[in-house]
Amino acid sequence: MAARSTGDEDFHRKVTYCDREYQEHSVRYEIYQVPIDAEEETRLLEQHEMLKLIYTDWNNGLYAPIVGEPEAILDCGFGTGAWAYDVAEYDPNCMVTAIDICPLLAPSDQLENIDFQIANLNHRLDCAEPNTFDLINSRFVASGIAATRWPNYFRDMHRLLKSGGWVQMTEWDLFFRSDSDNSDALQALHEWSRLYTEALGSSTRPEGKKRSRVVQDFEVWMRMAGFINVSTDVRDIPTCAWPQDAHNRSIGEANLTNMKGLIHSLGLYPVTSRRLREIEDFHDLIEAAYAELSDVGAKPYIRLHTTFGMKR
């Protein structure tokens, strides 16, 4: 992947923590404390495929029909680059700009209509002139956005959009629920959410403080930034194969692997480096949470939110 850097920092140096690999720069400055190793890359690629099964009513499972036919697209926090690649392949006439501070390995074939850049979403977005994009996609970046940054993140996206352009913000609401009203069966998962929230909020660096649950505020922040036609698509996604119908059962099956990976990846560094749990205790909690994610009787699920807004 030909990634361009906008600064002098070395974005390629890695550090190992508890057998997981992180970008040294992002960990040191508390920007994004999630692994960027092969394990996380596989999780993100599989999660991307699962999302296409979830959003069967979208264009190729990539963006909602409401967006129209975008010609210029920005992907914020591209990760493996899978969404950017799929969009660029789906419509070879559209130009995709994709930005990230610590990308994971991307698929090897470079497409001519993608421009990958290194940029920190916590800084003013200057990857393009104002009024450039028809669509801005931002998916699963919440663990790297400073708590105080959100309103300006939306303002920046608004500035970069053309009139009539759309923002599409997808995030998990990181709280696990039971469809059989048996939240007692999800105690370890609730403890994970509590610890993760506490860990993200307890950084002493302004950029380090994050919010674990943000989706509830997206519509307000979007309207404050000037977006119109704001709406949210909420879907309940099972965390194991408990649904009756085959389609949702297979989504549940895929999401079990995904959520097992997610709670380990997201929680490990923030929770244990801030000593909210010792590493062994954290792993015990994760083992208990794995059992709960796969408890068919409790019908566990998690909410997936996508909020849309249009620039007037």
Ligand X SMILES: C[S@@+](CC[C@H](N)C(=O)[O-])C[C@H]1O[C@@H](n2cnc3c(N)ncnc32)[C@H](O)[C@@H]1O
Binding site for ligand X (CB under 6 A): 31-32, 44, 48, 77-80, 82-83, 100-104, 120-122, 139-141, 144-145
Please state the closest distance from residue 276 (CB atom) to ligand X, in A. Answer: 21
Tokens matching residue 298: 């409790």
- Residue 229 CB, shortest distance to ligand X, in Å, is 23
Amino acid at 124: R
Nearest to 77 by CA among 133, 126, 120, 13: 120
Q: Which is nearer to ligand X, 52 or 162 (CB)?
A: 52
Residues contacting 58, CB < 8 A, separation 6+: 64, 65
Nearer to ligand X, 61 or 144 (CB): 144
Report DSSP letters for 147-203, one per residue.
TTTHHHHHHHHHHHEEEEEEEEEEEEEEEEEETTS-GGGGHHHHHHHHHHHHHHHT-
Cβ(306)–Cβ(191) below 8 Å: no
Q: Least separation, in Å, of the C-beta of 225 and ligand X?
A: 18
CB of 144 to ligand X, least distance (A): 2
First-to-last CA distance in the chain?
A: 35
Nearer to ligand X, 116 or 176 (CB): 116
Q: How far is the CB of 47 from ligand X (least distance, A)?
A: 6
Q: Please report, for residues 180, 191, 220, 262, the alpha-carbon distance to residue 30 in angstroms, rounded to integers and kept in the order given.
A: 38, 23, 26, 18
Residue of minimal Cβ distance to ligand X? 144
Torsion of CA 107, 109, 113, 114, to 10 degrees: 30
Closest CA to 168 of 76, 262, 71, 32: 76
Task: For CA atoms 7, 8, 12, 14, give the dihedral sign.
Answer: negative
What is the nearest approach in angstroms of ligand X to the Cβ of residue 214? 13
CB nearer to ligand X: give 80 or 132. 80
Residue 248 Cβ vs ligand X, minimum distance, rounded to whole Å: 21
**Cβ distance to ligand X smaller for residue 96 or 101:** 101
**Alpha carbon of 53 to those of 62, 247, 294: distances in Å?**
10, 8, 20
Residue 144 vs 243, nearer CB to ligand X: 144
Closer of 145 and 289 to ligand X (Cβ): 145
